[in-house]
Structure 1
Amino acid sequence: MVYLNGTETNYNHAFIHYLTVPPTSTNFTGLVQGMNYYASVIAHSGNNSQESDIVSVRTYPAPVHEFQCFQNSSENIYCNWSLPIGVITDLFLRVFEGSSPLQNISISNENLYFIIRYPWGDQFSGLQSSTTTNTTFTTIERLKPNTIYTVIIVAIAGSLQSQTIESTAKTFVTAPPAILEPVKIDSVPNAVTPSSLTLTFNCSWFATTNGDLKYYTVIVKESAETTTEKPENKWPLSKYSDYKSGTTAVYQVDDRVYPAECKSPSSILPVTVGTGATNGGFDDGALKSNTKYRFSFRAYTYIPGTRSVRAGKQALFAETFFSLPISTLVASPDSGVLAGTAIGAMLGGVVLTAAGFFLYKKLK
Structure 2
Amino acid sequence: PSRLRNMHCFPNSSSSISCSWSFPDSQWDSYTVEVRQQDSWELVYALRLARDSTLLNLENLQPHRRYSVAVRVASAGLSSPAVEENVVTMIDRPPPTTIRVNERAVRITPSTIFFKFNCSWFNDVNGAVRFFTVIVAESNDNEVLQPEQLHPLPSFQDYRTNSSVRAYQTGYFPSGCAQEQGMGAGRVFEVNLGAGLDRLGGPCDSEEDHDNDHNSDLYHFCDGPLKPKTAYRISVRAFTQLFDEDHREFPQPLYTDTFLSLPIRTQAGEATLYTPLPLTLTI
What is the TM-score when the length of structure 2 is the normalising length?
0.77
Structure 1 partner of 2:278: none
Residues in 1 aligned to 2:178 and 2:194: alpha-carbon distance in whole angstroms: 22
Q: Higher relative CO (CA 8 A, sep ≥ 6), structure 1 or 2? A: 2
Structure 2 partner of 1:101: 43
Contact 2:14 2:63 in 1 (8 A): yes
Within-5 A mapping of 1:5-154: 61-98=1-38, 99-109=41-51, 135-154=53-72
Is the alpha carbon distance of 1:90 and 1:175 closer, same or farther for their aligned partners in structure 2, counting shifts above 3 Å? same
Residues in 2 aligned to 1:83 and 1:204: alpha-carbon distance in whole angstroms: 48
Within-5 A mapping of 1:353-364: none
Residues in 2 aligned to 1:203 and 1:163: alpha-carbon distance in whole angstroms: 45
Q: What secondary structure does 2:159 align onto?
A: helix
Contact 1:96 1:151 in 2 (8 A): yes
Answer 1 or 2: which has greater helix percent: 1
Within-5 A mapping of 1:158-177: 158-177=76-95
Structure 1 runs not aligned, ≥5 long: 1-60, 110-133, 334-364
Residues in 1 aligned to 2:7 and 2:99: alpha-carbon distance in whole angstroms: 47
Within-5 A mapping of 1:268-283: 269-276=189-196, 277=198, 278=201, 280-283=219-222
- Name which of 157, 160, 169 aligns with 1:252: 169
Q: Using the TM superposition, give the Cα deviation of residue 77 of structure 1 relative to its aligned residue in structure 2, in angstroms.
A: 0.4
- Name which of 146, 152, 157 aligns with 1:241: 157
Q: Which has the larger Rg?
A: 1
Contact 1:91 1:154 in 2 (8 A): yes
1:218 maps onto 2:218 in alignment? no
Is the alpha carbon distance of 1:324 and 1:259 closer, same or farther for their aligned partners in structure 2, counting shifts above 3 Å? farther
Q: Using the TM superposition, give the Cα deviation of residue 266 of structure 1 relative to its aligned residue in structure 2, in angstroms.
A: 6.2
Residues in 1 aligned to 2:6 and 2:59: alpha-carbon distance in whole angstroms: 21
Residues in 2 aligned to 1:285 and 1:308: alpha-carbon distance in whole angstroms: 24
1:318 maps onto 2:256 in alignment? yes
Q: What secondary structure does 1:212 align onto?
A: coil
Is the alpha carbon distance of 1:215 and 1:308 closer, same or farther for their aligned partners in structure 2, counting shifts above 3 Å? closer
Residue identity (%)? 30
Deviations 1:186-229 (A, max 9, x none): 3655x433222111314443211211111111100122222222
Deviates more, 1:323-332 or 1:138-147: 323-332
Deviations 1:265-292 (A, max 9, x none): 5665432211323273311112123322
Q: What secondary structure does 1:104 align onto?
A: strand
Q: What secondary structure does 1:314 align onto?
A: strand
Deviations 1:218-243 (A, max 9, x none): 10012222222221111000111011
Residues in 2 aligned to 1:151 and 1:182: alpha-carbon distance in whole angstroms: 37
Contact 2:99 2:121 in 1 (8 A): no
Is the alpha carbon distance of 1:266 and 1:186 closer, same or farther for their aligned partners in structure 2, counting shifts above 3 Å? farther
Contact 2:35 2:44 in 1 (8 A): yes
Structure 2 partner of 1:289: 228
Structure 2 partner of 1:19: none
- Report the aligned-residue RMSD: 2.5
Residues in 2 aligned to 1:147 and 1:140: alpha-carbon distance in whole angstroms: 13
Residues in 2 aligned to 1:183 and 1:307: alpha-carbon distance in whole angstroms: 29
Q: Using the TM superposition, give the Cα deviation of residue 149 of structure 1 relative to its aligned residue in structure 2, in angstroms.
A: 0.6
Contact 2:19 2:57 in 1 (8 A): yes
Residues in 2 aligned to 1:324 and 1:148: alpha-carbon distance in whole angstroms: 40
Structure 2 partner of 1:155: 73
Contact 1:304 1:314 in 2 (8 A): no
Q: Paired residues, what number? A: 244
What is the TM-score when the length of structure 1 is the normalising length?
0.61
Structure 2 runs not aligned, ≥5 long: 203-218, 272-283
Q: Using the TM superposition, give the Cα deviation of residue 142 of structure 1 relative to its aligned residue in structure 2, in angstroms.
A: 1.7
Letter in 2 for 1:83: F
Residues in 2 aligned to 1:259 and 1:66: alpha-carbon distance in whole angstroms: 39
Letter in 2 for 1:162: S
Q: What secondary structure does 1:283 align onto?
A: coil
Deviations 1:18-62 (A, max 9, x none): xxxxxxxxxxxxxxxxxxxxxxxxxxxxxxxxxxxxxxxxxxx11
Contact 2:132 2:173 in 1 (8 A): yes
Residues in 2 aligned to 1:80 and 1:137: alpha-carbon distance in whole angstroms: 4
Q: What secondary structure does 2:157 align onto?
A: helix
